[in-house]
Amino acid sequence: MQFAIFWISVDLLVLKKLTLHQQKSVFEDFIDQMTFQLLKLIHLISERVYYSEDIINVPVDMVEGKCEVRKKIDISNSDLPVMIEHVFFCEHFYDRATGALKQLPSNVKLMSVARKATGALKKNKGKQICEDNEVDSGKWMEVPKESRIATLDIFAGCGGLSEGLQQAGVSFTKWAIEYEEPAGEAFRQNHPEAAVFVDNCNVILKAIMDKCGDSDDCVSTSEAAEQAAKLAEENIKNLPVPGEVEFINGGPPCQGFSGMNRFNQSPWSKVQCEMILAFLSFAEYFRPRFFLLENVRNFVSFNKGQTFRLAVASLLEMGYQVRFGILEAGTFGVAQSRKRAFIWAAAPGEILPDWPEPMHVFASPELKITLPDGKYYAAAKSTAGGAPFRAITVRDTIGDLPKVENGASKLILEYGGEPTSWFQKKIRGSTIALNDHISKEMNELNLIRCKHIPKRPGCDWHDLPDEKVKLSSGQMVDLIPWCLPNTAKRHNQWKGLYGRLDWEGNFPTSVTDPQPMGKVGMCFHPDQDRIITVRECARSQGFPDSYQFSGTIQSKHRQIGNAVPPPLAFALGRKLKEAVDAKRQQA
């Protein structure tokens, strides 16, 4: 491989980077006290390169990743959508003959962020670069509503899926249906222009069909008909009708399919599974241009795959093009392991959206869907062996947040410091006050246990001393819960219960009720004696700090745990935008 331009300070750069990483590991206990200006200075020093006229051949295995060279001013002003370790700046020319540094020759043109976007507009070349820059710099909000596709979000929750799709500049959620009042209220707060219906989706569909004069074609229960008749006149007026809805998306309740649900054979879970059929009924009635179904990974194998196959077959029967797959949210820029199944559908004549390319390294195997005859299909390759950008860590995600105690309940706090990572800068946006940095209060015994868990990566209940402790009531109790060692062999050693997060690792799958004895028990802060806060959980999902949640602390955790990570929805939305734009160009 031949490089026409060789950056002669690469070896020096690598050494400086190693030194920086070593410093991070040595000083991690007090890195929060370092000023943002100092971090910025260290970063600029480590990202400096020099121009040379030398041409050198190097073997391919020496290439470690992508490289982008910019003007120095663009390094501090840019708002990149990824970690910026691949971006360097250059100010001087290195003269090998004299060993001197000189001004850059006039023929050397470094790409600036502004010129990059401007140049991309010429003759429609580099369109993708221009569009990505426009959206990622926050200008997606300026994309006019009439240029977006009108969207109905069903089982909308607090709005994670809509948030990411709208950030992609492709959709405008005009209507949303959500059954739980706190989640519906959160959706209203964050998407004030949407008409939000807090009701059973079957009731709403019945009301829509009544409004359109299609009552005779509607098969519903008497209860749904009765509830539909009671809808307020204002709600009926705001109901969408066929021809208005271009895109339907949503995630039907997943508790019946989820491995996180210990009671997924209960009658209520089975009723929730039937919500898949209700969701498909909306597609059949509205016949939108595009349709997106999201659910947990186990959706494809639940009930021997019959529910999944029914969904795919139903969409095919309606004439839709269909694509299905499983994606890992951690490969799209969040510090969380969260595997989700998706079904894309596009109407005849439309372009079926492709899957987004994973961009971040994440230790997850290839997510396969088994097909007949021993074959399998994977929507995206595993990035465990490499990707353009490194994984986002727990430290990247929450390392800038102020210290709080067990049971912290103050809703609004000051940040108390500057962001120390790109992710933190991006997630804060223009927010000036921190909200929902509140923590569930543990009882006295669990708090004592938490304090006895060492503040080291991977520590959990196995690291508790085998002794009794005295409670304030005078009662003596075992520090190790009796049930854990006595049933560990049958339950994978109860790995992770009473576990601490690892600063350099990732969050486990976000759940609706973080607790030390829960299905995902790794919920203790890396070095504070408490359960992670609502805001920390929200950040693990990729919600911006400006995003609001509604109700009690339990309701807020539930809204976050049920949500689609906005960065994953954003990646899907970009592919939808490509399909929509390609169709417009064809016309």
Residue 267's pLDDT is 46
Does 90 reside within a domain? yes
Q: What is the mean pLDDT of residues 28-53?
A: 57
Q: Which residues of 303-314 are buried (b: 16+ CB within 10 A; e: fewer)?
A: eeeebbeebbeb
Rg (CA), the chain: 26
Give percent above pLDDT 90 in the chain: 58
**pLDDT(263) > 70:** no
- Rounded to the nearest integer, the mean pLDDT of the chain is 83
Give me the domain span that covers residue 308. 138-390+567-586
Higher confidence at residue 228 or residue 371? 228
**pLDDT(84) > 60:** no
Does 127 reside within a domain? no
Does 130 reside within a domain? no
**pLDDT(372) > 50:** yes
Catalytic residue among 130, 254, 450, 537: 254
Helix (H, G, I), strand (E, B) or coil at 478: strand
Amino acid letter, 84: I
Shared domain check, 39 and 104? yes
**pLDDT(419) > 80:** yes
Give percent above pLDDT 70 in the chain: 80
Phi-psi region of 436 (alpha: psi -120 to 50; beta: other; left: phi over 0): left
Contacts of 226 (CB under 8 A, 6+ apart): none
Does 506 reside within a domain? yes
Q: Which of 86, 118, 150 is the last residue of a domain?
A: 118
Domain count, the chain: 3
Residue 413's pLDDT is 97
Higher confidence at residue 437 or residue 371? 437
Q: List, as one string, the DSSP characters of 284-351.
A: HHH--SEEEEEEEGGGGTGGGGHHHHHHHHHHHHTT-EEEEEEEEGGGGT-SB--EEEEEEEE-TTSP
Confidence bin at 217 (pLDDT 50/70/90) = confident
Nearest by Cα to 356 from 567, 552, 532: 567
**pLDDT(397) > 80:** yes
Residue 134's pLDDT is 38
Q: Element (H or E) spanning 69, and its range? A: strand 68-70
Shared domain check, 98 and 62? yes
**pLDDT(246) > 80:** yes
Residue 540's pLDDT is 97
Q: Which of 94-103, 178-187, 289-298, 555-564 has the lowest mean pLDDT?
A: 94-103
**pLDDT(482) > 80:** yes
* CATH number of the structural domain spanning residue 255: 3.40.50.150
Does 132 reside within a domain? no
Report how far apart the first and last C-alpha atoms of the chain are (Å, whole number): 42
Shared domain check, 414 and 453? yes
Shared domain check, 449 and 467? yes
Shared domain check, 440 and 480? yes
Q: 291 with 247: CB under 8 angstroms?
A: yes
Structure tokens at 225: 């008909």
Residue 4's pLDDT is 41
Rounded Cα gap, residues 491 and 479, in angstroms: 20
Q: List, as one string, the DSSP characters of 399-438.
A: TTSPP--TT---SEE---S---SHHHHHHHTT--SEE---
Does 422 reside within a domain? yes
Q: Is 212 a catalytic residue?
A: no
Does 520 reside within a domain? yes
* Widest Cα–Cα separation across the chain: 90
* CATH number of the structural domain spanning residue 469: 3.90.120.10
Shared domain check, 327 and 215? yes
Confidence bin at 259 (pLDDT 50/70/90) = very low
Confidence bin at 111 (pLDDT 50/70/90) = low
Does 129 reside within a domain? no
Shared domain check, 416 and 374? no
Find residue 249's DSSP bridge partners: 153, 292
**pLDDT(261) > 50:** no
Shared domain check, 345 and 418? no
In Å, what is the CA distance from 301 to each residue of 124, 297, 507? 44, 8, 25
What's the full length of the chain, in residues? 587
Orientation of helix 181-190 relative to helix 553-561, angle to 10°: 70
Residue 64's pLDDT is 73
Shared domain check, 304 and 329? yes
Which residue in this structure is represented by tokens 């938490």?
A: 450
Rounded Cα gap, residues 420 and 334, in angstroms: 16
Residue 73's pLDDT is 58
Q: What is the mean pLDDT of residues 217-224?
A: 85
**pLDDT(170) > 90:** yes
Shared domain check, 41 and 62? yes
Confidence bin at 69 (pLDDT 50/70/90) = confident
Shared domain check, 383 and 249? yes
Q: What does DSSP assign to residue 171?
A: E
Residue 89's pLDDT is 76
Residue 138's pLDDT is 52
Rounded Cα gap, residues 19 and 582, in angstroms: 47
Shared domain check, 188 and 266? yes
Residue 118's pLDDT is 41
**pLDDT(515) > 50:** yes
Helix (H, G, I), strand (E, B) or coil at 185: helix
